[in-house]
Amino acid sequence: MATIANASELRFALIGTPNSGKTALFNALTGSRQKVANYPGVTIERKTGPLRTPSGRSVTLIDLPGTYSLRARSPDEEITRDIVLGRLSSEKTPDLLLCVADATNLRLALRLAIELKRIGRPLLLVLNMIDIAHRRGIEINLDRLSAELGMPVITAAAVRHGGTNDLLRRIDELAFDETASEENKWKLPTTSELRAAQREADRIIKIAVQMPAKPDTLTARLDAIVLHPIAGLIILLSILFLMFQAVFAWAKPVMDLIAAAFDALGTLVRDTLPAGLLQSFLQDGVINGVGSVIVFLPQILILFLFILILEDLGYMARAAFLMDRIMGGAGLHGRAFIPLLSSFACAIPGIMATRVIDSPRDRLTTILVAPLMTCSARIPVYTLIISAFIPAKQVWGLVSLQGLVMFGLYAAGIASALGVSFLTKYFFWRDDPTPPFMLELPDYKLPRPRSIIIALYMRAKIFLQRAGTTIFSMMVLIWFLASFPRPPAGASGPAIDYSLAAIVGHALTPLLAPVGFNWQINVALIPGMAAREVAVAALGTVYSIQGGKEAAEQIGQTLAGHWTLATALAVLVWYIFAPQCASTLAVIRRETASWRWMAVTFGYMLALAYIASFITYNVAIALGAG
């Protein structure tokens, strides 16, 4: 085979089929040193990280998007193909391709390896999860497999301590000389060539792999329950319900500690600095503004923890199959479930995940409704209002009423997404049939603690960076608007009543008064366009400046004193629908390559938010909630 060329900076790329353990191997090799960004010009996540081989060579490792073939059918697969073939001008061609295969399910991975071999670049086949294969009685003749494929083959167990040592040593053993062809003459394989590679993979498996006489049926036994049309849905709803209960119950002690820390810091600033603009800026703008958002970090991490565990278990694909019939009735492809579920964490990766959907129209529909799913950025808004207006009591002696309301908000987001999808399909694409749903079900696997911890760390880092940049800058702006101009000499009433923020808020009152919003809410909506959670920080800053220390430390009680229940419910409903996330809108434009679809998304979500809030507010008033 071709070998690695001498180079001062080596770049290795991990390539493999979905569910092959590629990301776990990447985490094991790079640890928490990895960097996450987007490829230039496209909103497709790229992960890179440094590793050092036993001989001391420095290597940059790239985790490429998963693919079954270089015949790319989606944007992320196109990125993988173009990097492997050296067609992306912004990326250096990898010096070594590490084709990662699930040792318990080799067929599709071997077909990809055979296709990669035709390129002529240095290639190493990595049989990941070899420990699981051995436990199941699967025996692989590595020498025979290597000889038949014509490439080195090495085993790895990414989740085991020392499970990558052999891989690192094998990389070092490869000769570093210039034998790889610089001129890439690879051509797109024809359908007949791909079929031949299926057949070739089957032949090699028969020769080099010995399957147990009695295969492990644990996955089949679990699927008989998990995929049952009734029991399976009950299990899925129970898991989601537990998730939202945990968001409140598990996070509260840590949230209280964070809130107490920021309160103490605010008190220190107030007692140390003389009263004036500097004290107001630090206490009201920075500490109370940014701190009112950071306090919700535990809830966001708990939500991500559930999603990561479900992904590692192999449950996500099962949930997609369970939801296929429901989503198909609403005009959504079954593959849309995973992008929509990912949107619970953040709509941006959810929208990016729609690339797994082959049909352009199905993909577009999923993109349009993904922002309706309740993302983690809504959690600060929901939690603040629910904690202030919904009693912290148990229902039926078992269920938290606050958690039940939170579950209802998430359910409303799901229902609205299905409703919008149904109307889109019915009025615009009625004659466009939804293709059948086909998805490979991975085996059940125990969650990988190291990978989960790294992913949670990265999510916390991203959130705190956002708090230190976007949210902080918005709080500086809000503080300035709420503090200037200063009131004239001898003026009565709070100083904020004379500020630019009050002027802007009152100017919007005729438009938003019908849905129950006061001028303080109007002000918070504007910076909230940068990110939904900024609205909480904006409210914290505005009420802190308006009400002083008591309002700063007890923002929830402050809202309860200034808002009616009808207003609180209207704000909750507004945030189910409102398109208050500029980053999401930007990703929609980039993913659809169209300003029109971004404008359509913004327009229909804003209309839904206004209509739903208007109805909610006025019905609540009629029922005596004013």
Q: Which candidate, 168, 315, 298, places its Cα nearest to that of 238?
A: 315
pLDDT of 560:
81
Q: Looking at the domain assignment, is residue 107 inside a domain?
A: yes
Across 76-88, average pLDDT = 85
Query: Can you tell me the distance from the alpha carbon of 357 to that of 345, in angstroms, rounded to the nearest whole number?
Result: 20
Residues 26 and 92 in one domain: yes
pLDDT at 177 over 50: no
Token pair listed for 334: 């079954």
Q: Looking at the domain assignment, is residue 603 inside a domain?
A: no
Token pair listed for 450: 């190291």
Residues 147 and 259 in one domain: no
**Using CB atoms within 10 A of its CB, is residue 293 exposed (0-12), middle (13-18) or buried (19+)?**
buried
Residues 288 and 199 in one domain: no
Question: Which residues are CB-contacts of 592 (< 8 A; sequence separation ≥ 6)?
Answer: 364, 367, 598
Q: Looking at the domain assignment, is residue 155 inside a domain?
A: yes
139: domain range?
A: 10-210
- Which residue's entry shows tokens 């990561």? 308
pLDDT at 613 over 90: yes
Residues 131 and 272 in one domain: no
pLDDT of 216:
58
**pLDDT tens, 481-537?**
888 888 887 777 777 788 888 899 999 999 999 999 999 999 888 877 777 777 887
Residues 173 and 291 in one domain: no
Q: Looking at the domain assignment, is residue 143 inside a domain?
A: yes
Residues 206 and 270 in one domain: no
| Pair type for strands 10-16 and 96-102 | parallel
Q: Looking at the domain assignment, is residue 620 inside a domain?
A: no
Residues 37 and 128 in one domain: yes
CATH number at residue 127: 3.40.50.300
Residues 148 and 87 in one domain: yes
* Distances from the Cα of 533 to the Cα of 367, 377, 505, 509, angstroms: 22, 5, 19, 22
Query: Can you tell me the distance from the alpha carbon of 538 to that of 520, in angstroms, rounded to the nearest whole number?
Result: 9
What is the phi-psi region of residue 65: left when phi exceeds 0, alpha when psi lies from -120 to 50, beta otherwise? Answer: beta
pLDDT at 602 over 90: yes
pLDDT at 130 over 80: yes
Q: Looking at the domain assignment, is residue 624 inside a domain?
A: no
Q: Give the Cβ contact number of residue 441 at 10 Å.
A: 14
Q: Looking at the domain assignment, is residue 386 inside a domain?
A: no
Across 543-557, average pLDDT = 63
Residues 105 and 199 in one domain: yes
Q: Looking at the domain assignment, is residue 271 inside a domain?
A: yes
Query: Can you tell me the distance from the alpha carbon of 306 to that of 303, in angstroms, rounded to the nearest whole number?
Result: 5
The last residue of a domain, from among 522, 543, 563: 563
Residues 52 and 184 in one domain: yes
Residues 201 and 268 in one domain: no
Q: Is 97 helix (H, G, I), strand (E, B) or coil?
A: strand
* Distances from the Cα of 625 to the Cα of 388, 423, 566, angstroms: 15, 33, 5
Highest mean pLDDT: which of 253-267, 545-559, 605-619? 605-619
The last residue of a domain, from among 210, 234, 268: 210
The last residue of a domain, from among 523, 543, 563: 563
Share of residues in the chain with pLDDT > 90 (%) = 22
pLDDT band per the 50, 70, 90 thresholds, residue 369 = very high
| Domains contained in the chain, number | 2
* Distances from the Cα of 60 to the Cα of 53, 247, 361, 458, angstroms: 11, 37, 38, 19
Of 85 and 615, the structure prediction assigns the larger pLDDT to: 615
Q: Give the Cβ contact number of residue 58 at 10 Å.
A: 11
Query: Can you tell me the distance from the alpha carbon of 444 to that of 329, in angstroms, rounded to the nearest whole number?
Result: 28
pLDDT at 31 over 80: no
Across 437-460, average pLDDT = 79
Entry pTM: 0.69
Across 36-52, average pLDDT = 65
Residues 172 and 75 in one domain: yes
345-349: long-range pairs with CB below 8 Å, 24+: 345/303, 345/304, 345/307, 345/375, 345/376, 345/459, 346/375, 346/376, 346/377, 347/371, 347/373, 347/375, 347/581, 347/584, 347/587, 348/43, 348/583, 348/584, 348/587, 349/45
Residue type, 566: A
